[in-house]
Amino acid sequence: MRKIILIMLMMLTSTSLCFAEKQEWVEKTYDFSKITKVTILDPIIADNIKNGIKEREISEIFKTHAKLSNIKLVEPSTVILSLNAEFGVNLMELNKINPHEARKIIDENSYKYTDLLIKSEVLVYDMGKTYSDGVTFNTTQNQTSQITNNRGMVVGTVQTPVSQTHTIGGGNVDTAYNVVRFIVTDVKTGKDVFLRIDNRTKVNVTKFDNTKPKDIYGRIVKSFFNDLSDKFGK
């Protein structure tokens, strides 16, 4: 029991070495409650992050947490196919020979098939090192003592609280970093209505900590889509 309590206290101490900062802007006059259809684009990943593995990891995590309540999700391919049928063109082919005309059709008519466009950019997704000062904390344990009579016989026990001091050494420790930007655009007007930059850092102080960028990224994506769902109020 003593070991378990000590581990829990060490983990509790380590959780304080987190950094989280959200910068966001919301168009106050925008009526999110009118939204019924949303298109979510795959995350854009900074070139310096890509290594053949991270982009696949990011994509899988994004698909797991990019969810909205009571809103119809319209795939980007569905919007393109609908425009192809409406205008009798192949936008993919048109984009090769006349990108301006293809973009004009998409920009001016996509609102018929979706209300909002959600884009995200993963700007930082990395492990590094951070110097951490040593941490000292106290715990209190009950020490059991025996009570004897004048003949040396044990007649009872008594528990006395005893304070113990524990120290976690300092040094350079593994640190996970994430910065993600979200952009929500009204498709009809082409204006951004909700912007957020989520910057989070987690220092793995003890050997019991093993937070990776993928763990933080999952929390960032889940937090954003939960907050956006709340704005829809549905």
pLDDT in tens, the chain (234 residues): 444 444 444 444 444 467 778 999 999 999 999 999 999 999 999 999 999 999 999 999 999 999 998 899 999 999 999 999 999 999 999 999 999 999 999 999 999 999 999 999 999 999 988 776 666 777 777 787 777 777 778 777 778 788 878 776 667 778 999 999 999 999 999 999 999 999 999 988 766 778 999 999 999 999 999 999 999 985
pLDDT score for 161: 83
**CA separation, residue 199 to residues 54, 55, 179, 216 (Å):** 18, 19, 4, 10
User: 173 φ, ψ to 5°?
Assistant: -125, 155
pLDDT score for 192: 98
pLDDT score for 169: 65
pLDDT score for 101: 96
pLDDT score for 14: 44
pTM of the full structure: 0.77
Identify the CA nearest to 194 among candidates 1, 7, 11, 31.
31
In this structure, are residues 70 and 230 in contact, taking their beta carbons and an 8 Å threshold?
no
Separation of alpha carbons 42 and 62, rounded Å: 8
String of DSSP letters for 155-217: EEEEEEEEEEEEEE--EEEEEEEEEEEEEEEETTT--EEEEEEEEEEEE--STT----HHHHH
pLDDT score for 179: 97
Q: Quick one: tokens of 196?
A: 């957020």
Residue 75 half-sphere exposure toward CB, CA atoms < 13 A: 4
Identify the CA nearest to 192 among candidates 120, 124, 104, 103.
120
pLDDT score for 16: 43
Tally of helices (H runs) and strands (E runs) in the chain: 6, 9
